[in-house]
Amino acid sequence: MCSSQVSVARREAALLVVDLQHDFLPGGSLAVTEGDAIVAPIAKLMNRDLFGVVAATQDWHPRDHASFASNHPGRRPLETVELFGYRQMLWPEHCVAGSAGAALHPGLPWERVALVIRKGMEREYDSYSAFRSNLGPDGTRKTTGLAGYLRERAVSGVFLCGLARDYCVRWSAEDAAQAGFRAFVLWDLTRPVDPGSDSAVRDALAQAGVAVVFSEQLRAAS
C-alpha cells in the first residue's frame, strides 16, 4: 500500500480506460486472470469526478486479423511470428468487430466517457496503444488522433487503467509519455496477461518516464 498522494488537477487530467471488454474478462476468449476484479473499482473512480476527460479504448478486429493464430496455418496462440520487422504475438480470436466478446463491460458508467478509440481495425497489423498502431507494412505507426484530442482539451496528465497491463496499458502509457503527457499507470486497476512480466513492465515504464501509482493515492488538487 502506498501512502503518498498524487494530486489531480481536474481540468488538466484525463482517465484512459483500456479495453474493458468481455473477451478479456473471465469466460472470454483471451481472458486475463482477475480481470473482472478491476471493473467495480474503475467504475467507482470514473464516478469520482477527478478527471476533466474520460476516454476509453476498444479492440475491434476483423475476423481475418493478422494477430489471430487461426489465420496462420500451423501456428498456435501465444506463439510469435515475424511481422514487418518485429515479433508479433499470435492470439486466440478475440474482440471481433460487432461480436459479444468485443462489447464494453456494462458495469462501467460509459455515459461519463467522452471518446472511445477503436483499435486493431486494420487486417494487416496489430494495435496495442491508444495513441498509435503497431508497425504497419509501410514501417510507420499510424496515430489514432487521441493525442491531438487531449491537447485540444488542455490535458497534460493521463492516468491509465484497464487490460492488459503488459500489453495495451503499457504501450499506451509509453506512447502517452512520448507524446509529451505526464503518464501514470494505476497499477491496482490493471491486470497482466503474464503475471511474471510485472518486474519487466515496471522497468520499461520507468525507463519511458511513466509513473506507477495506485488509485488510493489520488486526490483532487486544492
Q: Residue 89 pairs with which residues in a beta bridge? A: 80
Asked about 19 being catalytic, the answer comes back as yes
142 is known as an active-site residue: no
The catalytically annotated residue of 161, 168, 175, 188 is 168
Active site residue 168: yes
Among 119, 161, 166, 175, which one carries the catalytic annotation? 119
The residues assigned a catalytic role are 19, 119, 168
